[in-house]
A = this chain, B = another copy of it.
Amino acid sequence: MKDVLDDLKEVVVEKPVDVIIRQIKELLISGQLKPGDKLPPERKLSEKFGVGRTHVREAIQKLEFYGILKTKPQSGTYVAGIGISALEGLISDILKIDAYSFMSLVETRVLLETSAVALAAERRTEADIEKLELSLNNYLAKAKQGIKAVDEDLMFHLTIAEVSKNQVLKSLLLIIIPDIISNYSVFKVCDTITDKALNEHTLLFQQIKEGDAAGAQATMKEHLQGVMDFAKMIVQ
């Protein structure tokens, strides 16, 4: 009885915020709004769209977060100076940001992490090595008991990104990691902890410590190969 109802309720209701973003997008694409232009005041927009000003503000905040709009207090909201054609892609990306394919996610993760680990091996300090060791031991402690240690696993990988001294790289990983986690649980990946993974983590740590950038990169690639294969398998 519950299953049927659950399935039926899966219709996605387009939220007011998404509708407004779409509307603003139309204004931009149609050329009625060009980079540098001032948007109509929030009151006019809410009136025109037939929604409360709260929704308009929320939409503007979201677009501002992505650098599309820039609002100056007591003055107005302005279109940032990026090509209009680029905006179209960006906005649609915001709307379907949760709909990335697992394949693209994994592919990008591999890319980011192999680069990060190489940089980490080149740039690590003594303090970094301690942090990494701590993180590694956290993971090993749980994993050796056969307990699932997804968080600790990811934390070790994030620490590597931290050690790479590239803030952007780390932030981008942080952005895609929630998506990876949700997909992991959906597809029931990583239910078993292999000795292989354990050894690879330890090896990774050693190679970073020794400054072996190329070796660490190779190990990371190998380490993520399993996930990569799985992704290729279930590709839609």
Q: Please, how many angstroms separate the alpha-carbon atoms of A66 and B170 in the complex?
A: 13
Bitwise interface map of A from 74 to 112 toward B, beta carbon under 8 Å scored 1, else 0: 000000111101100110010001001100110110011
Q: Smallest Cβ distance from A152 to chain B, in angstroms?
A: 7
- Which residues of chain B have C-beta atoms less than 8 A from A168's C-beta? 100, 104-105, 107-108, 176
Q: Please, how many angstroms separate the alpha-carbon atoms of A68 and B181 in the complex?
A: 12
- Whether A152 contacts B83 in the complex (CB less than 8 A), given A66-B174, A89-B170, A170-B93, comes out as yes
Bitwise interface map of A from 153 to 179 toward B, beta carbon under 8 Å scored 1, else 0: 011001000100111111110111111
Q: Smallest Cβ distance from A112 to chain B, in angstroms?
A: 8
- Which residues of chain B have C-beta atoms less than 8 A from A165's C-beta? 104
**A86 touches which one: B66, B82, B108, B158 (CB < 8 A)?**
B158
Contact, CB under 8 Å: A154 / B100: no
Closest-by-CB residue of B relative to A93 is: B171
Interface CB pairs A-B, < 8 A, 17: A65-B65, A66-B174, A66-B178, A82-B181, A86-B154, A86-B155, A86-B174, A93-B174, A97-B171, A104-B165, A104-B168, A105-B168, A108-B169, A111-B111, A111-B112, A111-B115, A172-B176
Binding site for B on A (CB under 8 A): 58, 61-62, 65-68, 80-83, 85-86, 89-90, 93, 97, 100-101, 104-105, 107-108, 111-112, 115, 135, 151-152, 154-155, 158, 162, 165-172, 174-179, 181
